[in-house]
Amino acid sequence: MNFTVTTSSVHEIESDLEIVFVVDENIDHPFVKEKKILKQYGFNATQEEICFLPEHGKLYVGAASLKSEALRPAAAAAMRTLLGKKGYKRIKVALYLSHPRCTASLRAMCEGLLLGAYSFDKYKSKKSKSPVKEIVVSLEGYESHEIGHEAALRAIHKAEIVADATNFARNIVNTPPDDFYPETMAKKAKKLAKKLGLECTVLDAKALKKEKMRAMLAVGRASRHEPKLVHLAYKPKNPKATVALVGKGLTYDSGGLSLKPGDFMVTMKADKSGSAAVIGIMKAVAELGLDIEVHGFMGMVENMIGGDAYKPDDVLKAKNGKTIEVRNTDAEGRLVLADVLCYAQQEVKADYLIDFATLTGACVVGVGQYTSGVMGFDETLKSEMKRHAKIAGELVTPLDFNDHLKKTLKSTIADISNISNTRYGGAITAGLFLSEFIDDDHRDKWLHVDIAGPAFVEHAWGENPAGASGAGVRMTVRMLESVAGAKTH
């Protein structure tokens, strides 16, 4: 899908369809030409409400405001309406800006158009691709706000990169486990590295054993697919900061010998969403050319059952020497992350260390399926992630650590247990477990992001389709743009 920017007014542009956003239920705005028909159809222009008038060449969409968080999902809703339809190759749309000379709303709108056009139909006989090949953006504004041609092109270019990276991550998560396993991610990372000029290192089981990553190895030892640790590195000259990203990459999680109930195993292909977010972020950072050094570490494992499966009551030794009593083999992601976090800190002295994981159902219970929980020791860092998430259209809420919950992870036979002795506060206790594998140098530079809720939802919501959302990509790219000092609007 290509974007074109023109100074021509909207009515001068030839197209198959015009998308018109009706903002703040203002159906009397001059851009709204079919007022009478819209009223007859009962169109109230509420957020993401659609009125498709193909005979008039118009698709009307309600948006609560001109702000990014309203325009992005409204644009996605418009594009979802066109999925599977024919005859709408060229779309036109006006300029919608919330503030003078600020392109944030334009970027958000274009992200929404691209995110809404996404479909995962690889395994379907009948495809439902978007028919849209070109979107023409007129610099004629819904309001009197204006921007230059070059500024518009820059905003759209960033939108294309970030949306493409998000869809890249979505594809990885949506791919079934029999077609996506640790070696698959290793191959995908090598291919991306070759294309974008990144460094790529892959550690196999022998190398993991040499690195004393026994916790990660234990989780994967009952699978026919060997665990892999994938390390991608983007290294520009004279970077302003160094960032390490760590992703949980359970290509499938049966729960191990602490077997999940059957209905809980469905969608467990999504347990690789943390690693998908990391590789998606790496892709976007490289294509944006950000002036920061970024390393992506992905712990790729499959948690299965078998004669060689690790067991409840086992005691594992992590890379940093700490011993872990296994009380539940379904609390496996934190074991993988423990080793990968240690390895990442060994390899990179970072200014920011961020891990992403579909870690706990408790996070979904606590904050809902649309919101990620963010944890760490630095309040400013947590606030920064939340701020950038809001701009990017993702939902994040901070979850605070406390010493009372930390005590619930005590073990009588090892340094720590892999689950707490209480059913409450499970998202936080999982974060506290990970904190035991963060060294003193990185303690105030570390964020843990539990994306268990939004990573995979079985119905469309906002700018996200049913299935994988690419959670974590957009908000982290926004944050890294800020770290790099890149202008985002």
Q: Which CATH architecture has domain 166-484?
A: 3-Layer(aba) Sandwich (3.40)
- Cα 37 from Cα 100, distance rounded (Å): 32
Partner residues linked to 396 by β-bridges: 372
CB-based burial, 462-478: b 16+ in 10 Å, e otherwise: bbbbebbbbbbbbbbbb
Which amino acid is present at 254? S
User: Nearest CA to 223 among 298, 301, 299, 276?
Assistant: 301
The pLDDT tens digits of the residues spanning 2-54 come to: 999 999 999 999 999 999 999 999 999 999 999 999 999 999 999 999 999 99
The pLDDT tens digits of the residues spanning 45-95 come to: 999 999 999 999 999 999 999 999 999 999 999 999 999 999 999 999 999
Q: CATH topology of 2-147 equal to that of 166-484?
A: no
User: Nearest CA to 273 among 369, 404, 343, 403?
Assistant: 369
Q: Is 170 labeled as catalytic in the residue annotation?
A: no
- DSSP-derived pairing of the beta strands 416-417 and 323-325: parallel
Looking at 85, 190, 260, 327, which residue is catalytic? 260
CATH number for 2-147: choose from 3.30.470.20, 3.65.10.10, 3.40.220.10, 3.40.50.720: 3.40.220.10
| The pLDDT of residue 145 | 84
What does the domain layout of the chain look like in residue ranges?
2-147, 166-484
Contacts of 423 (CB under 8 A, 6+ apart): none
| The pLDDT of residue 174 | 98
Place of tokens 């060294």: 439
Distances from the Cα of 107 to the Cα of 7, 96, 263, angstroms: 17, 10, 39
Neighbours of 324 (CB within 10 A): 27
pTM higher than 0.85 = yes
| The pLDDT of residue 489 | 57
Q: What is the residue-level pLDDT of the chain in tens, covering all 489 positions? A: 999 999 999 999 999 999 999 999 999 999 999 999 999 999 999 999 999 999 999 999 999 999 999 999 999 999 999 999 999 999 999 999 999 889 999 999 999 999 999 999 999 999 888 999 999 999 999 988 889 999 999 999 999 999 999 999 999 999 999 999 999 999 999 999 999 999 999 999 999 999 999 999 999 999 999 999 999 999 999 999 999 999 999 999 999 999 999 999 999 999 999 999 999 999 999 999 999 999 999 999 999 999 999 999 999 999 999 999 999 999 999 999 999 999 999 999 999 999 999 999 999 999 999 999 999 999 999 999 999 999 999 999 999 999 999 999 999 999 999 999 999 999 999 999 999 999 999 999 999 999 999 999 999 999 999 999 999 999 999 999 999 997 665
| The pLDDT of residue 273 | 98
| The pLDDT of residue 101 | 84
What is the 3-class SS of the chain, one letter each residue? CEEEEECCCHHHCCCCEEEEEEECCCCCCCCCCCHHHHHHCCCCCCCCCEEEEHHHCEEEEEECCCCHHHHHHHHHHHHHHHCCCCCCCEEEEEECCCCCCCCHHHHHHHHHHHHHCCCCCCCCCCCCCCCCCEEEEEEEECCCCCCCHHHHHHHHHHHHHHHHHHHHHHHHHHCCCCCCCHHHHHHHHHHHHHHHCCEEEEECHHHHHHCCCHHHHHHHCCCCCCCEEEEEEECCCCCCCEEEEEEEEEEEECCCCCCCCHHHHCCHHHHHHHHHHHHHHHHHHHHHCCCCEEEEEEEEEEECCCCCCCCCCCEEECCCCCEEECCCCCCCHHHHHHHHHHHHHHHCCCCEEEEEECCCHHHHHHHCCCEEEEEECCHHHHHHHHHHHHHHCCEEEECCCCHHHHHHHCCCCCCEECCCCCCCCHHHHHHHHHHCCCCCCCHHHEEEEECCCCCEECCCECCECCEECCCCHHHHHHHHHHHHCCCCC
| The pLDDT of residue 418 | 98
| The pLDDT of residue 486 | 72
Looking at 67, 92, 334, 445, which residue is catalytic? 334
Q: Is 126 labeled as catalytic in the residue annotation?
A: no
- Cα 382 from Cα 50, distance rounded (Å): 36
| The pLDDT of residue 144 | 83
Place of tokens 């891990």: 355
